[in-house]
A and B are shown apart, each in its own frame.
Chain A
Amino acid sequence: MIPLSWYMALAAILFAIGVCGFLTRRNIIIMFLSTELMLNAVNLNFVAMSHYLESMNGQVFTFFIITVAAAEAAIGLGIAVSLYRSSRHTVHVDEINELKG
């Protein structure tokens, strides 16, 4: 059997990739994808722990996270489309700079 620590290490690496992607990329869609990657790292963590702890909570939690992530994607892409239409046809955060100070 694969030990728990492997799963947790994989989840940590995925999460770190997500964080790095979010902080370094400047395209809204890629930044959004990075947060999805982070959420999936969390899901992996929950499922692996739930299996090893023999408790159902983690798996139930994962279902909720997947559901919420779907809702979040719908809203996020909706906002991105409305921003793209209303401003200046860009999804690059460096060019979206009306608000500062």
Chain B
Amino acid sequence: MDTAIVSWTAFEPILPEMFLVCIALAIIGFDLFAGKQREQLIPWITVLGGLIVLGMVAGEKYGQAFDGMFITDGYASFFKVVCMIGVIMAALMSEHFRRSEALPLGEYNSLMVLSAVGMLIMASAGDLMVLYLGLELMALSVYCLVGLHHGDPKTGEAAMKYFLMGGFASAILLYGMSLVYGLTGTTNIAKIAQLSSSGQLLTNPALMAGLGMMIAAFCFKVAIAPFHFWTPDVYEGAPTPVTAFMSVGPKAAGFAVFGRVLVSGFPQFHDSWGTLLSVLALLTMAIGNITALSQVSIKRMLAYSAIAHAGYALLGVLCGTPEGLSSTMSYLLIYAFMNMGAFAILILMSSPDNHRETLDDFKGLAKTNPAAAFMMMIFMFSLTGIPPTAGFMGKFYLLKSALAAGYTMTVIGAVIFSSISAYFYLRVVRYMYMSDPEHEVAINFTPGISVVLGLSLLGVIGLGLFPGSMIAQAAGALLGQ
């Protein structure tokens, strides 16, 4: 009898994800059996695996799998690359961090790789069900990562806050999805777009409510005001490599689903969500930049800066145009490099007895350690958006596409808040270069952190001077969609 045989070729599109799961399991096994002295190999396993996945993602064949539930296209690949860069850099950071803090390397790396699986699934989701599963896989792993550093009551508190707020947001997301499903009868994003274009549904208040709830939940995931309250506490409480990872990976994945659902699922509703998001983007930039002014802890300042940058990145999504989306994509890539760099300096400064996270600890760094101070200056310039760094190019393209889409007031607001942000970024530079050192800071450049800093510097300067190829890549990714 001819039985239905599993067609293995159907699994080809999810090979990178399956490979990542294998890496995570291998790390858990290695951590169990290899013993204490070989523990330092674990970050390098992650890096190696990450590089292989990066190659697989770059060479992916475009198409659809599982009846349109899983889409591999240029859009997904671009976000996957950003997420994998985040994973690789965070693994390298843990190689340094374990020397000063008791970080369980096996758990850290395996959880991080598992959350990366979730992110890749989110980037490729063509169905609300897949989207939800990817989102939860990512979120549940990150909740654990935040609380990993036991012994410190701060991390427990951060993990609990993140977990409760995250659970609340996913429940709201699901309720929105259930309303959309009830009205359209499908969970496939492309089919939702087809069905909701008919006249009746266009004005249906329940569909609008469902869409609004989904937007609220996505805003929560990428820390858009007024759903940003968890961000500063969680970013401050989490171990620094985890904070760096969270500000890059989950954020990029969140924007991937934001763009996918709004632009390919609800293009007919652009008038409504475009206006809503332009208000939220302004609010986010205002809250992020103004609250960051009063922070003394650099880690907390970077948390508020992450909120502000989510507001900038939203500028591209709210356009609803391919041009806007591609500028958001390039901005997230640039942001990955500059933010990872800034956090790497923060990790470099920290020692077992003193975290050295406040502004005062950076006083006179240029005299005690010119190399670290110089790199921090480059990253701060890039976060402010000063040419010739990549941050400037990213912001330029975002503002240009928002202006082209007709959101003039939002663009004016963005420019004003961006100039306010110069105060707190450049204050760090002023403290480093124009104050006298208060105490000696011993800095130890280990291989892991040196690679992170080198890559970030290369990314920030390289993409700042030659942005053309990245922009072309992002724009080309969308044309294939």
Contacts and interface: CB of A to CB of B under 8 A. Distances in A.
Interface of A: 8, 11, 15, 18, 22, 28, 31-32, 35, 38-39, 41-42, 45-46, 49, 53, 55, 57-58, 60-61, 64-65, 68, 71-72, 75-76, 78-80, 82-83, 86-88, 96-101
Interface stretch (B155-163, B373-381, B426-434): B155-163
Contacts of A49: 178, 181-182
Contact of B133 (A31, A32, A57, A68): A68
Nearest to A34: B168
A20 B160 CA distance: 19
Contact of B151 (A72, A86, A97, A100): A86
B174 interface: yes
Interface stretch (B232-240, B249-257, B414-422): B232-240
Nearest to A22: B168
A8 B159 CA distance: 33
Contacts of A53: 182, 185
Given A11-B178, A39-B170, A96-B157, 13 more contacts: A22-B168, A38-B172, A38-B174, A42-B175, A42-B178, A45-B175, A46-B181, A58-B181, A68-B136, A79-B147, A83-B153, A86-B156, A97-B157
Interface residues of B, number: 44
B157 A71 contact: no
20 contacts: A28-B160, A35-B164, A38-B171, A38-B172, A41-B175, A42-B177, A45-B178, A57-B181, A60-B129, A72-B167, A75-B143, A82-B147, A82-B159, A86-B151, A86-B153, A87-B153, A87-B156, A98-B154, A99-B154, A101-B295
Nearest to B154: A98
Given A53-B185, A61-B181, A75-B163, A99 B175 contact: no
A45 B150 CA distance: 39
Contact of A101 (B129, B175, B232): B232
Counting from the closest, the 3 A-B pairs by CB-CB distance are A38-B171, A83-B156, A87-B153
A45 B168 CA distance: 17
B132 A100 contact: no
Contacts of A78: 144
Nearest to A50: B181
Contacts of A68: 132-133, 136, 140
B358 interface: no
